[in-house]
Amino acid sequence: MKLVDTSIKKPVTVTVGAILLILFGFISLFRIPIQLTPNVDLPEISVETIWRGASPLEVEREIIDAQEEELKNLEGLEEMNSESLDGQAYINLMFEIGTDTDDALLRVSNKLEQVKKYPDNVEKPVIKSGGRHEQAIAWIILRSLEGYKGVLKQEYNFIDEHIKPRIERISGVASSNIYGGAGEGAADHC
C-alpha cells in the first residue's frame, strides 16, 4: 500500500520513471541483437553428370530434364536447382530440416536409376551430400621434399586407394577429392 500512496503523492516521479522505462525499452529493442530462429542449413545433395563434348542446351534437354522428371517427387524435397554447362549437368537438391542425409542419398540414387535412357558417352551421375558449392573445411597437402627420389605416381595411387577411402568413411565428411599428381604433388581435400 505504501507504493500506491507514494505514487499518488509524487506523480512527477512516477511519470519520469515510466518515461525512462519506455526509453530504455526502445533502446534495448533496437540495440540488442535478437535472433528468434537460429541459422539452419537445409540438408543438401548434389548430382553431377558429365557428358564430354555436349553443349549446355543438349545437356539440359537430354540429361537435366530426364533427371528432374524423376527427382521432382522425392519425399521431403524443398527446392531443386539445376545448372547446365559445356559437358556438365548439376542438380542441387535441398531437403526439409531433419531429413536423414543417408536416407535421402539412397532415395536420390534410386530415383536416378529410374531414368529411362542417357545419351551415349554419358558418365554415371555422381551423387554427393553437402551440395555443389560447399567450401572445403580441411586441406591436406602432401608435397615432396627437396631431393625426393621416389615415384610420384606410386604415392598418388597410394593416396587414392588407401587414404581417400578412409577419409570418406569418417562421419560428417561429405566428399574427398585429390588434386595434383605428376609434378605437382598430391593434395587431398575433404
What residue type is 118 in one-letter code? Y
Q: What angle do CA 121, 131, 120 make, to 5 degrees?
A: 10
pTM metric for this prediction: 0.57
132 close to 90: Cβ distance less than 8 angstroms: yes
92 close to 41: Cβ distance less than 8 angstroms: no
Per-residue pLDDT of 63-109, as tens digits, reads 999 999 999 989 889 999 999 999 999 999 999 888 888 888 899 99
What is the structure's pLDDT at 3? 81
Q: Please give the CATH topology (third level) of the domain spanning 44-129.
A: Alpha-Beta Plaits (3.30.70)
134 close to 148: Cβ distance less than 8 angstroms: no
Q: Give which of 63, 72, 68 is closest to 117, Cα–Cα.
A: 63
Q: Is 153's pLDDT higher than 70?
A: yes
How far apart (Å, rounded) are the C-alpha atoms in residues 136 and 159?
18
